[in-house]
Chain A
Amino acid sequence: MSGIDGTALAVLVVLFLLVTVMGFMATRWRRPTSMESLDEWGLGGRSFGTWITWFLLGGDLYTAYTFVAVPAAMFGAGAVSGFFAVPYTIVLYPIIFVFMARLWSVSHRHGYVTTADFVRGRFGSRGLSLAVAVTGFLATMPYIALQLVGIQAVLEVIGLGGGSNIIAKDLPLFIAFALLAAYTYSSGLRAPAVIAFVKDTLIYLVIIVAIVYLPSKVGGWDAVFSAAEQKMAKPNPVDGKPTGAFIPGAQAQWAYATLGLGSALALFMYPHSITASLSASSRNTIRRNASILPAYSFVLGLLALLGWVAIAAGTKPIGLDGKPNAQLVIPQLFEDSFPSWFAGVAFAAIAIGALVPAAIMSIAAANTFTRNIYKEWLKPDATPQQEAKVSKLVSLVVKAFALVFVLALDKQNAINFQLLGGIWILQTFPAVVLGLYTRWLHRWALTAGWAVGMVYGTWQAWSVANPRAGINHFGGSLDTIPVIGQMGYIAMTAFVINLLVAVVGTVVLRVAKAPDGDDETIRGDYFADAGDPRVEKVLQPLHQEAPNP
């Protein structure tokens, strides 16, 4: 671990500069007549076809943090906390297949950019819309910060960032994020869309090479699985229980299933997933994508297994501070097993992998702020130009905040908040997704359900202790499910309570004849497609050929 791996660093820097240039050039790609609106800057003109959407969503959902954290969980705790990512990213697609086309249609008919926009239009409730917007914003912030943790892991293994001088230590990260902020500011969603091509290609390349080459180096898959089984069965010195699960036992099956389902229901409630979905050019783009996006889930599964390959290879993830840090396991495995230049390619894949989601997340958080807080509450008469301007500025602020968050605070804070973010964002599901189908649920009952779910989830997550890590709070995402008595994902329990409150509250409010808000949508809106009135209007600027600059 001593010294800097110069070759790997050089490869990383070259690839990083390449995508930086691409990010700035992206503003010319499919050039719109004007970038000065949220439709152009924030949704790429809503013009992306099946394949661009595939790269964009793949680059967006499968983040650098996922690439670092999933194998780290496999390495440290086994299949329940690691491999659940596979069923999670499989059941995800039938679920979004069902509702995303409706959300696309109604959003294009009414110019919605965020889920809070939709909730506002559907339920006529500014309060519920604000709740959805604030939840989305809060849940996204730590997620952006975690992308930095992904880049940090790579830099640490290369040997950068160990100095005692605070400025020199974090300078590389600072430069990387400043460049990202600059081209996101100028190119908007087009920048991550272009960079996603590079990111996804590198990820596929690195993981396929790793999965073909590495197991043979450690004695084949049999050796990998028996090493993992042995490690997971070994009692932990703190509590004497097995280290982890090689395969979920009878006690862990609810945990495995609820982690998978809860994460799948939550993922497309995040603003960055919605932004990438709404930038598609037609209603069916997202449905076609539901059948080709699982390609990434396959790769994620292979990557998870690399966590177990690292067990067989005897990888020792030790940070520059001399303490073990499971998050370094994948970069360290690459550094130990590959020639320097290819390790550099692998590091670039992870680092660039952080840029795409960080860009989309900051755009999505900025859109949410602009539409649902700035325009709704502060400046209702804002013009599209002003909206785009505010959004661009907020995207900078959000990234600066993420940087401070990671550099100034312990990064465990970012991980805790991201855990909370997953619990929080799922609480917007009833208003958004059930709202796509029915207005039976009353706006006040939905708001109450959201509030109860948020409070319950936060409190439960806070009270989880993890004696092995020596922490008393935010020790994990699992807790005993009331009534069932098994361990389960806290977000799912909070979600069920949220739904119960919403249903009971609705019955009470209907009996009390509480007034409904206005619904600005009609049934046909949920089936509209490109070419229909008002849907086409949004797309029009792209049909007019821009004169060459």
Chain B
Amino acid sequence: MTTTDQPDAGGPRRDEVDHDTVPPARTGLLVVAGVLLAIPVVALLWVSSYSRVEPKLWGFPFFIWYQFLWVFLCSAFTYTAYRIVLLARPHRPMTDAGADRAGERA
């Protein structure tokens, strides 16, 4: 495969990066983020772990308040995963032929 999907229109600068590759990432961190995102899904699909009445909390059956609790937990897990993903794969600016032409115009 070629570097870009457009022919290089004779721009003065050649691409330094092959953009038909996945930008580099710290795999370990991506795995951590993946696990954080998977936990709420597994927890809520595992219905038998929470389909019961006791222990009640302020009159609410466990089944109800446990799922409400996951609204907050899931939100926290997702936000943490977001911070981790930003660290794991910093944005790699694209510099293809279109960029060169835009740069010349500016």
* Chain A residues packing against B (C-beta within 8 Å): 79, 83, 86-87, 90-91, 93-95, 97-98, 220-222, 225, 246-250, 253, 256-257, 260-261, 284, 287-288, 290-292, 294-295, 297-298, 301, 305, 520-529, 531-534, 536-537
The 5 closest A-B CB pairs, nearest first, are A524-B19, A533-B99, A291-B79, A221-B59, A94-B37
Is B21 in contact with A524, judged by CB distance below 8 angstroms? yes
Name the residue of chain B whose CB is nearest to the CB of A221. Answer: B59
Given A523-B20, A524-B94: A87 in contact with B58 (beta carbons within 8 A) = no
CA distance A537 to B67 in the complex (A): 44
Q: List 5 A-B contacts (CB under 8 A).
A: A94-B81, A247-B61, A297-B71, A532-B99, A536-B102
CA distance A534 to B4 in the complex (A): 13
A222 contacts which of B23, B59, B76, B99 (Cβ < 8 Å)?
A: B59
7 extra A-B contacts, CB within 8 A, seeds A83-B64, A294-B78, A524-B21: A91-B74, A221-B60, A257-B44, A524-B22, A527-B92, A532-B93, A533-B95
B45 contacts which of A260, A287, A525 (Cβ < 8 Å)?
A: A260
Instruction: Give the dominant DSSP class at A's interface.
Output: helix
The contact size tier of chain B is 35 or more
CA distance A93 to B75 in the complex (A): 8
CA distance A521 to B19 in the complex (A): 10
Q: Tell me how far the C-beta of A71 lies from the nearest C-beta in chain B, rounded to whole angstroms.
A: 14
Q: Tell me how far the C-beta of B90 lies from the nearest C-beta in chain A, rounded to whole angstroms.
A: 10
B76-106: CB near A (< 8 Å → 1, else 0) gives: 1111011001100101111110110010000
Is B51 in contact with A301, judged by CB distance below 8 angstroms? no
* Chain B residues packing against A (C-beta within 8 Å): 1, 4-5, 19-23, 37-38, 40-41, 44-48, 51-53, 58-61, 63-64, 67-68, 70-72, 74-79, 81-82, 85-86, 89, 91-96, 98-99, 102
Instruction: Give the dominant DSSP class at B's interface.
Output: helix
Q: Tell me how far the C-beta of B17 lies from the nearest C-beta in chain A, rounded to whole angstroms.
A: 8
Name the residue of chain A whose CB is nearest to the CB of B46. Answer: A257
CA distance A533 to B99 in the complex (A): 5
Contacts of B77 in A (CB 8 A): 94
CA distance A443 to B20 in the complex (A): 21
Name the residue of chain B whose CB is nearest to the CB of A228. Answer: B61
Name the residue of chain A whose CB is nearest to the CB of B23. Answer: A527
Name the residue of chain B whose CB is nearest to the CB of A245. Answer: B51
CA distance A537 to B72 in the complex (A): 38
Q: Tell me how far the C-beta of B5 lies from the nearest C-beta in chain A, rounded to whole angstroms.
A: 6
A533 contacts which of B67, B71, B102 (Cβ < 8 Å)?
A: B102
Is B94 in contact with A533, judged by CB distance below 8 angstroms? yes
| Most chain A C-beta atoms within 10 Å of own C-beta, residue among B21, B75, B89, B94 | B94
Is B85 in contact with A91, judged by CB distance below 8 angstroms? no
Name the residue of chain A whose CB is nearest to the CB of B1. Answer: A522
CA distance A525 to B1 in the complex (A): 14
